[in-house]
């Protein structure tokens, strides 16, 4: 609306004037944390109270989540960390701690007689890539932290020894993977009670995991990737039929990459995840297309139509992407203004575009039970991190004596690039299995920054992550209260299958009928999904807020 736009221009001018005068503080003056579990939030608060910064707090949160959320992340998995380094001109960094395929991995390792054997890339040690999270924690402490690694790991070590209480999310995830957990004696011992899902309030203690964390506290990355623990990991994997070697562990390194940066309207900038994440590109494309569409003034069905159509087009391009260390990603072409203008102009105002009418692209899917947190300190340093073991409890395989449940991220590769992966979807050569390669991901830790605002977004949810983050970013762009961003009802389209998925209650009966008249095929997924954790810093007002998704059991906090 013209009046709203005028008000925004006046407000932006005032903020710029304050910046020029030096009246705006370099940092918010207090910290904020949004994490999916109260124990992780408490760990971060402790570290900040001890004089640590946001990067130290990120180590503490990640390690604590490895204890209390074995279904979502852990030392046996990996993740992406988006960093903001405070200053008059903030600097951004992206730490890629995605797991890597073992050196013995090959493109046909999950095929037998030309057909994919789904179980091999889902359950057991052959499904596990080389973990990246331990390296990331050591890297963060060494390059950006103020405290030694041992201090930042201390809350998680205490938590693993003392135990945590089973909550409804733990029970839900354990129920989903109950048979797989039962099939592995060590996983059953660690995460079940009497070979069944633990009751609410059951105390889960993990002394072996505490010992593993203590080894890292004393020896850093070599405490995990070399020495006695590395040998125990390799022996346990190989005895159960896996292909890890000591060289695989010793050779693992995380990768520092340039974050994806994309200018938006009103001097905002998107700072998000580059490949091997496909999420940042999908977000940039979606926001760029929405800028050409009157979505803010549209009634609900029309707005949903615009959002679904930009998502359909953005998700179509995902099959072109892969690990940047192995393939050349056409990022510049996918983010070119003329290309995105053409995509936006191809959207019919009142009619769905059948995905079959767009140029073909490989379909895909990935595990959707990861975890996410956001933290900012008083100086303005910030971390947005999405961590994963892929499916709940990863490969449901735990290495005896280590407390570690391993990821099943190998299933995020295209198991059969010429045919279909374990989900029955078309494969992609760019994301084919190869030794040392990182699988493509949708994990999308994201910042939006302008002269007057800073916001952090992210969520678990596999292929639905970019659509969830987009819906939350729209809340920022509209000026809605921060608590509403992660609570917004969710819907999703990913090009193929050509289905508009949604949570129960997202659309009314009338809205569903209108969408169907436009040509959409709707699917109620039957449950709520995602667990978004967001932050907002109003630089002009000097306030900072955090919000946790009401779908989860997370806790947000400000102070210090």
User: Which residues participate in catalysis according to the annotation?
Assistant: 370
Contact (Cβ atoms closer than 8 angstroms) between residue 388 and residue 371: yes
* Rounded Cα–Cα distance for residues 109 and 479 (Å): 50
**What is residue 122's three-state secondary structure?**
coil
**What is residue 248's three-state secondary structure?**
helix
> What phi-psi label fits residue 5: left (phi over 0), alpha (psi between -120 and 50 degrees) or beta?
alpha
E-strand stretches of 363-452:
371-376, 382-388, 398-399, 404-405, 446-449
C-alpha dihedral sign at 115, 120, 126, 129 = positive
3-state secondary structure 153-170: HHHHHHHHHHCEECCHHH
* Rounded Cα–Cα distance for residues 518 and 513 (Å): 9
| DSSP strand pairing (91-97 vs 78-85) | antiparallel
CA distances from 162 to 114, 189, 203, 342 (A): 49, 17, 9, 57
**What is residue 191's three-state secondary structure?**
helix
* Rounded Cα–Cα distance for residues 414 and 409 (Å): 11
Residue 346 backbone dihedrals phi, psi, to 5 degrees: -80, -5
Contact (Cβ atoms closer than 8 angstroms) between residue 274 and residue 299: no
* Rounded Cα–Cα distance for residues 236 and 398 (Å): 9
Give the CA-trace dihedral at 355, 360, 361, 367, to 10 degrees. Answer: 30
Q: Give 82's strand partners.
A: 94, 384
Contact (Cβ atoms closer than 8 angstroms) between residue 321 and residue 361: no
């Amino acid at each position: 609306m013209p009046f709203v736009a005028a008000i925004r221009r006046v407000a932006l001018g005032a903020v710029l004037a304050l910046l020029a005068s030096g009246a705006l503080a370099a940092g918010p003056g207090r910290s904020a944390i949004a994490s999916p579990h109260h124990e992780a939030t408490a760990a971060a608060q402790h570290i900040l109270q001890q004089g640590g910064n946001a990067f130290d707090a990120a180590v503490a949160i990640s390690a604590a989540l490895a204890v209390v959320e074995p279904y979502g992340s852990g030392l046996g998995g990996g993740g992406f960390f988006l960093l903001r380094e405070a200053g008059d001109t903030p600097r951004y960094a992206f730490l890629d701690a995605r797991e890597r395929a073992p050196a013995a991995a090959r493109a046909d390792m999950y095929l037998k007689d030309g057909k994919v054997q789904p179980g091999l890339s889902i359950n057991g040690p052959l499904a596990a890539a080389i973990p990246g999270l331990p390296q990331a924690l050591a890297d963060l402490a060494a390059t950006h932290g103020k405290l030694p690694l041992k201090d930042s790991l201390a809350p998680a070590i205490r938590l693993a020894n003392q135990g945590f209480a089973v909550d409804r999310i733990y029970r839900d995830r354990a129920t989903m993977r109950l048979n797989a957990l039962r099939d592995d004696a060590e996983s059953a011992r660690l995460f079940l009670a009497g070979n069944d899902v633990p009751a609410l309030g059951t105390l889960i203690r993990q002394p072996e995991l505490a010992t593993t964390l203590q080894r890292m506290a004393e020896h850093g990355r070599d405490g995990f990737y070399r020495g006695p623990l590395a040998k125990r990991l390799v022996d346990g994997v190989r005895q159960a039929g896996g292909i890890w070697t000591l060289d695989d562990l010793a050779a693992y390194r995380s990768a520092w990459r340039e974050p994806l940066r994309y200018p938006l309207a009103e001097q905002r900038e998107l700072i998000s995840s580059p490949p091997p994440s496909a999420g940042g590109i999908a977000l940039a494309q979606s926001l760029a297309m929405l800028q050409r569409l009157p979505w803010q003034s549209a009634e609900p069905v029309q707005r949903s139509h615009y959002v679904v159509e930009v998502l359909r087009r953005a998700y179509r391009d995902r099959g072109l992407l892969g690990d940047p260390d192995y393939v050349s990603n056409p990022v510049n072409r996918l983010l070119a203004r003329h290309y995105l203008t053409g995509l936006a102009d191809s959207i019919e105002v009142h009619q769905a575009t059948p995905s079959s009418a767009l140029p073909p692209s490989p379909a895909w899917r990935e595990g959707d039970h990861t975890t996410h947190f956001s933290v900012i300190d008083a100086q303005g340093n910030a971390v947005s991190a999405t961590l994963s073991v892929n499916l709940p409890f990863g490969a449901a395989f735990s290495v005896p004596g280590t407390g570690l449940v391993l990821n099943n991220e190998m299933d995020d590769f295209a198991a059969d690039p010429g045919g279909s992966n374990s989900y029955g979807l078309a494969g992609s050569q760019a994301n084919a299995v190869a030794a040392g390669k990182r699988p493509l991901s949708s994990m999308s830790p994201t910042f939006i920054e302008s002269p007057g605002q800073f916001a952090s977004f992210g969520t678990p949810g596999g292929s639905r992550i970019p659509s969830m983050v987009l819906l939350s970013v729209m809340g920022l762009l509209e000026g809605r209260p921060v608590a509403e961003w992660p609570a917004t009802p969710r819907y999703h389209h990913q090009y193929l299958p050509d289905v508009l998925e949604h949570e129960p209650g997202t659309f009314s009966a009338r809205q569903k009928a209108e969408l169907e008249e436009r040509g959409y095929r709707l699917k109620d997924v039957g449950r709520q999904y995602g667990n978004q954790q967001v932050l907002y810093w109003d630089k002009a007002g000097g306030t900072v807020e955090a919000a946790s998704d009401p779908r989860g059991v997370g806790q947000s906090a400000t102070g210090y």
